[in-house]
Amino acid sequence: MTLHPIEPGQRLGTLDRAMAIAQAEAVVNSLHPAEDPLPLVRSLVQIALLFIETGQLALQQRAKTLLLRAEALLSHPPCQQAKVYRAEVAWLMYGRGLLYIWQRNFVDALVHLRAANRAFGDNAQGLSIVDDGLGRYYAALNDFHAALFHFERSLARRSPNNPDRLLSLVLLGHLHQQSYLHDRAEVYYQQALALAEDLGEVDLKLQVWAGLGRVAAARRNWEWARQCTRTALAGRTSPYELQQAAYLYLNLAEIELGEGNCERAQTLVEGDAAPRFEALTSAVGWAHVNRMMGCILTQRLTQQTDWDSQLAETAEDYFLDASMTFEEQGLVAPYALTLHDMAELYRLTAQRQNVPNDTGKAIRALGLGLSVLEKAPQKATSLSFKLEVLLNAIDPILWLNRKRDRLRAGTGAGEGMAIAAREQEVTLLAVEVIPAAGLTSLAEQLPYTVFKTVDTLLQQALEISRERGGWLAEASSRRLLWGFWNHSLESERHST
């Protein structure tokens, strides 16, 4: 699914974003800094945070102006109120840090979030908010483990009765969903949904429904995905929610495409998502639109009897434009996913047009995608396997050799962070990749040398599982190895 920016910053209660902004603006207009500047400072920072979270450049520029105004009011604190002013300075630093994350100015973002952390001192609520911000900072840098640390620490700092736990649950759900860890994401989303219902929370509940829709779509549960996404979309009617609505329309398009409805998918992209991203002047949004259009045209090619070379070239152009933007913005998962989609197009072209060169292009695209994912701090393991399975379908021997080399490298390294063992990859390899690759069909088609390669691969997986993967990895490897041997014996008996 199209990945949204991780965006919840505040609980808005029973208000939607438009109502919250209107209320905050009314408060700002009613206050006079000459009497006491602190209430005005709080309101200025609050409305700035609301503008920042819209994801809209024009509103974020207004947020910057409001934060500068708040800074001017805090520039000369009375000595007797220094401690009170310090808390407002902390919120100001947090607001600036959040704005810099959205602008992908990561150096200044970290400086301001750390300043906020110092200024909050021992204020548990403030420190939790800073942890939320630091988690979002590391998530934007694709560092899953650092983001997880801060989100979990924020949750731990909030007591069981603290309604702000809802923020932590939503953030943890988003982080796991964007890392393709859908089961864990669903657990957090369900907890968040129950809490949002109890609190009467509007904005965050809509985000939860959107997240549940993305999880359902990843599992190809199209009808439930559609219901969740439309529930989220029904509440995104305000001009302040243009970005959220645009991404949700892309998600709906992907659901329609999953069911083979190319016409409906294209209508949703061109008629609903694209105009909103155009109004937002969002380069990343346009990249998602381009990727989706490439996927739609690729699906059209699979449904047509006659090959349309012009359509294939147009699809390739969409993918290339999207991949360049994702690469420039450092968006690892969307970049790798686009390379996967491009490889699908090249594979289709090679099959339908008998063009061997396109097979090579598909393999190179997948190799680049896997390389990008392996180097990233964030380990989108399920996404890696998506690319692995396609590579196996295109060239099984190349895939097996690549796996063998990686396992050998892991065995030789002898470290817990070795590539083959990291993130319990051996377990996932045994449970997901090899069955998806279709070893039973390989048994009937490939020569003895390939059987030997598979056997060696599984033996090495078992060895690494014993050393570092734990009992589940070892059991999975043993089960698969036993199944492979049995299938080999059955094939041999049938052949004689």
- Each residue of 165-177: pLDDT tens digit? 999 999 999 999 9
Higher-scoring residue by pLDDT: 340, 15: 340
pLDDT in the model for residue 97 = 96
DSSP string over 205-252: HHHHHHHHHHHHHHTT-HHHHHHHHHHHHHT--SGGGHHHHHHHHHHH
Confidence of residue 429 (pLDDT cuts 50, 70, 90): very low
Confidence of residue 483 (pLDDT cuts 50, 70, 90): low
CB contact set of 381 (below 8 Å; sequence gap of 6+): 180, 181, 423, 425, 428
Q: Angle at the Cα of 201 (from 200 to 203), degrees rounded to 5?
A: 150
Q: Return the DSSP state at 392.
A: H
pLDDT in the model for residue 10 = 66
Residue 481's alpha-carbon distances to 129, 398, 447, 453, 488, in angstroms, are: 48, 20, 18, 12, 11
Residue 25 structure tokens: 């603006």
pLDDT in the model for residue 275 = 95
Residue 388 structure tokens: 């692995």
Check pLDDT > 90 for residue 343. Answer: yes
Cα dihedral 136→283→237→1 (10° resolution): -70
Helix (H) or strand (E) holding 154: helix 144-157
Count of positions (residues) in the chain: 496
Task: Give the Cα separation of 215 and 119 in Å (integer).
Answer: 38
pLDDT in the model for residue 6 = 52
- In this predicted structure, which of 101-110, 252-261, 336-345, 403-412 has the lowest mean pLDDT? 403-412
Q: Region 31-56: what's the mean pLDDT?
A: 86
Task: Give the Cα separation of 35 and 1 in Å (integer).
Answer: 51
Higher-scoring residue by pLDDT: 415, 90: 90
- Each residue of 71-118: pLDDT tens digit? 998 887 665 566 778 888 999 999 999 999 999 899 999 999 999 999
Q: Angle at the Cα of 350 (from 344 to 355), degrees rounded to 5?
A: 150
Nearest by Cα to 343 from 325, 320, 360, 365: 365
- In this predicted structure, which of 171-185, 247-261, 411-425, 471-485 has the lowest mean pLDDT? 411-425
Cα torsion angle, 348, 349, 353, 354, sign = negative
Task: Give the Cα separation of 48 and 65 in Å (integer).
Answer: 8
Check pLDDT > 90 for residue 346. Answer: yes
Confidence of residue 120 (pLDDT cuts 50, 70, 90): very high
- In this predicted structure, which of 343-347, 400-404, 405-409 has the lowest mean pLDDT? 405-409
Task: Give the Cα separation of 437 and 415 in Å (integer).
Answer: 28
Say if CB 362 and CB 347 are below 8 A apart.
yes
Task: Give the Cα separation of 165 and 346 in Å (integer).
Answer: 46
Which amino acid would we find at residue 1? M
DSSP string over 267-300: HHIIIIIHHHHHHHT-HHHHHHHHHHHHHHHHHH
Average pLDDT score, the chain: 81
pLDDT in the model for residue 365 = 94
- Each residue of 291-331: pLDDT tens digit? 999 999 999 999 888 888 999 999 999 999 999 999 998 88
pLDDT in the model for residue 388 = 85
Task: Give the Cα separation of 122 and 320 in Å (integer).
Answer: 49
